[in-house]
Amino acid sequence: MKLSEFDYYLPRNRIAQYPADERDSSRLLVLHRKRGAIEHRMFKDIIEYVQAGDVLVLNNTRVIPARLYGKKPSGGKIEVLLIKEYLTNKWQALVRGMYQGSITLKNGMSGFISRNNGIATITFHDDIKKSLREIGVMPLPPYIKRPAHKLDDQRYQTVYAEKDGALAAPTAGLHFTKEILDRIERKGVSVIRLTLHVGYGTFKPVVSHEIEQHRMDEEYYEIPENTAHIINHAQNKGKRVIATGTTVTRALEAAAMNGGDGKIKSGRGTSGLFIYPGYTFQVIDGLITNFHLPKSTPFMLTSAFAGLALLKKTYRDALHRNYRFFSYGDAMLIL
């Protein structure tokens, strides 16, 4: 398929720069994909669309404050974004420019930046993980054109975030409150968790004109045994599995491939599964998601689930009705 097929017009003023006042006060567009019907609701109304026996799957990854600011020996300022830990205190990083050499961070901690074929590695002299919460800054996506605030420390995390490791939030889950999740469970829905640590590759642009040539970055995921059991049991009973976000979807579909026969296999692994139109879903029956960037892999995954033509029509309707887009934007429920 051509990359241009996944483009659409998006005015800059539709890209949400701040979260809604309350998590569940975001708007919710409900798309019934089989009949093409659209409803316009509020996120707190999502309770009306789940039923006893359903399984709602959440990603409990926690975003690490991976953006660091420091100084060079010359006194010049430098910004570092930690990407992936190779070894203890040795990280792949994004560093503006081509600087190599020593840096000193806010708390006096020091490190050394080296490069190999343009890829930056920073080696810290002390345990950086112990200092991240003190000196690190939340790595907001590049389309949020403002510095990170204290507000983002809470609002760019889900209320159920538990396991450190993500460089970006699983944003479909940002709309949930503990109260909504409790009410969903009281309705007879199984609310379960897995972990997929969202990497920087989530913002990696697709540059191949033929999307089939694109390669996803590998991301770590973990499927607990209880999660796998509940999903497999629900599928045997013909019950719905609803994924909260594209990250949950990729983890579940990767685990089903590993399990064989469409059954979820518990355990840990990495996956670079790329889902685009033509993919046959083995696990999910519903998807909660946000509105995604043009030409992005999350938009392609959502197109595979809803149908590209229907999804683009739905996005046009959302734009016409002033929905807010991307990480801090409004939500969709696709059933």
Nearest-angstrom CA–CA distance, 59 and 112: 34
- SS3 category, 178: helix
Instruction: Please state the rounded mean pLDDT for residues 210-238.
Output: 96
Q: What does the pLDDT read at residue 268?
A: 94
Nearest-angstrom CA–CA distance, 324 and 36: 21
The answer to whether the CB of 246 falls within 8 A of the CB of 302 is yes
Nearest-angstrom CA–CA distance, 296 and 276: 10
Query: Is the predicted pLDDT of residue 201 greater than 90, yes or no?
Result: no
**pLDDT band for position 250 (cuts 50, 70, 90):** very high
Q: What does the pLDDT read at residue 282?
A: 95
Single-letter amino acid, residue 30: V
**pLDDT band for position 64 (cuts 50, 70, 90):** very high
Which is nearest to 143 in space by CA: 300, 290, 303, 305? Answer: 290
Q: What does the pLDDT read at residue 297?
A: 96
Query: Is the predicted pLDDT of residue 221 greater than 80, yes or no?
Result: yes
Nearest-angstrom CA–CA distance, 132 and 142: 20
Q: What does the pLDDT read at residue 51?
A: 97
Q: What does the pLDDT read at residue 155?
A: 98
Q: What does the pLDDT read at residue 200?
A: 80
The better pLDDT of the pair 201, 303 is held by 303
Mean pLDDT of the chain: 95
The answer to whether the CB of 160 falls within 8 A of the CB of 32 is no
Instruction: Please state the rounded mean pLDDT for residues 185-212.
Output: 93
Instruction: Please state the rounded mean pLDDT for residues 18-23.
Output: 97
Model confidence over 105-160: pLDDT tens digits?
Answer: 988 899 999 998 878 999 999 889 888 989 999 999 999 999 999 999 999 999 99
Percent of the chain with pLDDT over 90: 88
Q: Which of the residue ranges 15-24, 80-89, 237-246, 268-277 would you say has the lowest mean pLDDT?
A: 80-89
Query: Is the predicted pLDDT of residue 276 greater than 80, yes or no?
Result: yes
Please compute Rg for the chain using Cα positions.
20
Supply the pTM of this predicted model: 0.95
Phi-psi region of 97 (alpha: psi -120 to 50; beta: other; left: phi over 0): left
Which is nearest to 297 in space by CA: 202, 165, 170? Answer: 202
User: b/e string for 185-195 if b means 16 or more Cβ within 10 A?
Assistant: eeeebbbbbbb
Nearest-angstrom CA–CA distance, 47 and 57: 15
Model confidence over 281-324: pLDDT tens digits?
Answer: 999 999 999 999 999 999 999 999 999 999 999 999 999 999 99
The better pLDDT of the pair 96, 187 is held by 187
In the numeric block, the tokens 């539709």 are attached to: 14
Q: What does the pLDDT read at residue 262?
A: 77
Q: What does the pLDDT read at residue 258?
A: 81
Strand 67-71 relative to strand 37-42, pairing: unpaired
Q: What does the pLDDT read at residue 96?
A: 81
The answer to whether the CB of 311 falls within 8 A of the CB of 302 is yes
Q: Which of the residue ranges 183-187, 238-242, 270-274, 300-304 would you say has the lowest mean pLDDT?
A: 270-274
325: phi then psi, degrees, rounded to nearest 5: -110, 160
List the Cα angle 179/180/186 in 5-degree steps. 90
Q: Domains in the chain, start-ordered, CATH in brackets?
A: 3-63+151-334 (3.40.1780.10), 69-135 (2.40.10.240)
